[in-house]
């Protein structure tokens, strides 16, 4: 049985998963401070044959060294990593590798669809992979916490919202609830509008929601959308197998 280690280092936390014969067997989430210790423990417990690291932060050098010292078949992703689909993004040097992983996971989950992957993290990324197996791009906008912090940071008197109600009012009755309404309800309206715009342009359309804030928004959207919290990790596993096949 072949074991793969797939790691997604985002702006907020780190996810690491063990895949056995392409099935996700174990997943952990850790902070930047504990990632080296926890990944080392994961390697010791499972002894994976291959590993892939997808990082959007600069602080992942030590983890890269750890992986390469323990697992010779290690891939460190970038925007121009060789992937199973056509990467037609024009500025691959600034392409987040997480976006590339997302569209690979989406294509192989729904190969007969034009898939829009909406990832809700520090930023919202809209990533379209066409059913002709091509990724061309999408859109990027501020995520939920970025919106809330920006309204405070770029004004003199607006406070920073520290916590969000589960169901923010449309009509805020004070400054705090108005900020919540604008950020959360405005973001939901944006996502619905973007999904509709892509759906109108591309037939055989499918939308997938993922990312850290996806559970908060999944019930707030009007669009038909599939939630898959593991689509990025699944994409990483596919890319790893594409780059480091097992010896025959």
**105, 240 in Cβ contact below 8 A?**
no
**Contact in structure between 133 and 107 (CB atoms under 8 Å):** yes
Instruction: List helix spans (H) across the chain.
Output: 35-46, 61-70, 97-109, 144-153, 175-180, 186-201, 214-217, 231-243
Give me 5's structure tokens.
């280690």
Task: Decide: 125 and 99 in contact? Cβ < 8 Å.
Answer: yes
CA distance 147 to 160: 10
Rg, C-alpha atoms of the chain: 19
DSSP per-residue codes, 114-146? EEEEEEESSEEEEEEEETTTEEEEEEEEE-HHH
For the record, the structure tokens of 72 come out as 């010779």
98 carries an active-site annotation? yes
92 by DSSP, 3-state: which?
A: helix
Q: Which residues pair with 209 in a beta bridge?
A: 118, 227
Give the active site residue among 21, 33, 80, 98.
Answer: 98
DSSP letter (8 states) at residue 157: S
Active site residues: 98
């Amino acid at each position: 049985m072949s074991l793969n280690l797939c790691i997604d280092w985002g702006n907020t936390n780190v996810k690491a998963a063990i895949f056995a014969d392409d099935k996700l067997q174990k997943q952990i989430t850790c902070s930047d401070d504990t990632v080296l210790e926890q990944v080392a423990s994961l390697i010791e417990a499972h002894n994976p044959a291959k590993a892939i690291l997808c990082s959007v932060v600069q602080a992942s050098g030590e983890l890269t060294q750890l992986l390469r010292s323990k697992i010779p078949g290690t891939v460190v992703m970038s925007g121009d990593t060789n992937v199973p689909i056509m990467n037609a993004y024009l500025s691959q040097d600034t392409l987040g590798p997480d976006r590339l992983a997302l569209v690979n996971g989406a294509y192989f989950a729904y190969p007969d669809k034009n898939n829009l992957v909406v990832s809700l993290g520090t930023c919202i990324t809209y990533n379209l992979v066409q059913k002709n197996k091509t990724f061309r791009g999408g859109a990027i906008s501020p995520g939920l916490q970025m919106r809330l912090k920006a309204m405070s940071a770029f004004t003199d008197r607006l406070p920073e919202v520290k916590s969000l109600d589960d169901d923010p009012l449309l009509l805020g009755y004070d400054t705090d609830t108005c900020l919540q309404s604008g950020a959360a309800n405005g973001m939901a309206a944006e996502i619905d509008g973007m999904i509709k715009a892509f759906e109108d342009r591309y037939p055989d359309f499918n939308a997938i929601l993922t990312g850290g804030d996806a559970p908060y928004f999944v019930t707030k959207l009007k669009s038909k959308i599939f939630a898959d919290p593991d689509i990025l990790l699944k994409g990483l596993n596919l890319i790893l197998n594409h780059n480091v096949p097992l010896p025959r």
